[in-house]
Every structure is written in structure tokens, then in C-alpha cells.
Amino acid sequence: MATILNERLITPSILSADFGRLDGDIATVMDAGARLIHVDVMDGHFVPNITIGPPVVRAIAPQVHDRGGALDVHLMIEHPERYVEAFVAAGADAVTVHQEACVHLHRTLAQIREAGALAGVALNPATTLETLSEARFFMDMVLVMSVNPGFGGQRFIETSLDKLRRARAFLPDAVGIEVDGGVSAANAAELAAAGANLLVAGNSVYGAPDPAAAFRELSAAIAA
């Protein structure tokens, strides 16, 4: 069954928003047409940075859902299986865990679906697609990291383009492909052509002078 993770969308990342006015920054991109909002959760262990947890997801979820949107929660944390239910209860519609953080990936994917969310798996730049050769039939999305996770505003790793092409060939058609890191108006069309249907955009949206216009420009670049 196709879900929002199979659509072709720009997914604004609130990591680059102003945490002091998240409501307004989310309204800005949703008014411009955004339907999937990317939430970066970092624990200071799996990645060096620390960001937010379930209380912030709970605080923004009503606004996103009332506007017909969905929350795409990217867990850059160790032991993500300990927090799946808390994020889903807080309003996460999709939960993505890192392959590198999951000893029992198959079990964690089933746990996410049983909790009522769509299940994604993220791959660091140095992690091969083939690590998912068994698990690929049990997930709704693969997130291809095109920077090393931990910070917004990093430079796109060019070899990610070929990884996206290989991912599209390797994964079942029902599995969506998200690319995360260094997405801009300069590479968005190429990324979509390579097989990514969800393009996370942090700095290129919220770092722009006019985030709504930046969102619309990126969306136009990937329009089929």
C-alpha cells in the first residue's frame, strides 16, 4: 500500500529552524505546501550533537496533523528500540532508526510498525546497501545519509548519487527512498532523477532569506 513515504516531496528539517518559534517556522513551510516535516533526534552518543526528544514532538504534532501533514522522525540515537513507543505516542508518523545502531534490526522494524508508525532505516555514508539485503522486505523507507549525521548545513557527499541509483534498483518498489544532507536547489532535480522521492532540506529552506520561497523552489525542481 502506498503511503506518504512513496510520494515525491521536499521534507523540511526543523533542525535548521528557530527552536524559539517552531510553531511559526512549521506554519511557514506548511503554508507553502509542505506535508512531511523531518525531525532530527540526536543523543550525544550515536552522534556528537544533542537535539530534542518526545516532548518537542508532542508539542508540534497537533499543528502538523491539523494541517494534514505528517511527522518523519529520524532517530540518530543508540538503543532506538527503547524509545520507539514514546515517539509514536508523541505523534511520530514515521520512525527511522539507523542500521548501525540496531543489533536486532528486524525486531525493531516490527516494533515500529506494531506501535502504529511507518518504519524507516537510515544508512550512514560508509554503510553499504547490502547490509539491508535481508531486512529490505520489512521496511517502508530507506534514508540515505548524504552527509555524516549530526549537524545541519554540511556539504553533500557526491558518491551518494550513485548510492541512490543502486538503492532504487536494490529495494522493493514499495520502499520509499529519502536522501538527507546537503540537499539544495542545485542538486535536487538530480537526486530525484537518481531515485530519491523524499528530499530532506534543512539549511536550504530555513537558512534562506525567504524559507517559503526556498521550499517552493525546491519543490518545483523535483516536480515530475
Which residues are near ligand DX5 by CB under 6 A?
A: 13, 15-16, 38, 40, 74, 147, 149-154, 180-183, 200-204
> Closest distance between ligand DX5 and the C-beta of residue 114, in Å?
25
Q: What angle do CA 180, 152, 148 make, to 5 degrees?
A: 60
Catalytic, 173? Answer no
Catalytic residue, chosen from 40, 72, 93, 140, is: 40
Closer residue to ligand DX5 (CB): 140 or 180: 180
Instruction: For CA atoms 24, 28, 203, 120, give the dihedral sign.
Output: positive
> Closest distance between ligand DX5 and the C-beta of residue 206, in Å?
8
Dist. CA 224–CA 217, nearest whole Å: 14
Catalytic, 43? Answer no
Reference 26, options 14, 40, 41; nearest CA is 14
Catalytic residue, chosen from 43, 72, 93, 180, is: 180
Closer residue to ligand DX5 (CB): 154 or 174: 154
> Closest distance between ligand DX5 and the C-beta of residue 205, in Å?
8
Give the DSSP H or E segment for 179. strand 176-180
The contact set with Zn ion (CB under 5 A) reads 40, 74, 180
Closer residue to Zn ion (CB): 40 or 140: 40
Q: What angle do CA 34, 47, 144 make, to 5 degrees?
A: 50
Q: What angle do CA 52, 211, 222 make, to 5 degrees?
A: 100
Q: 58: burial class by Cβ within 10 Å (0-12, 13-18, 19+)?
A: middle
> Closest distance between Zn ion and the C-beta of residue 181, in Å?
7
Closer residue to ligand DX5 (CB): 172 or 209: 209
Active-site annotation, residues: 40, 180
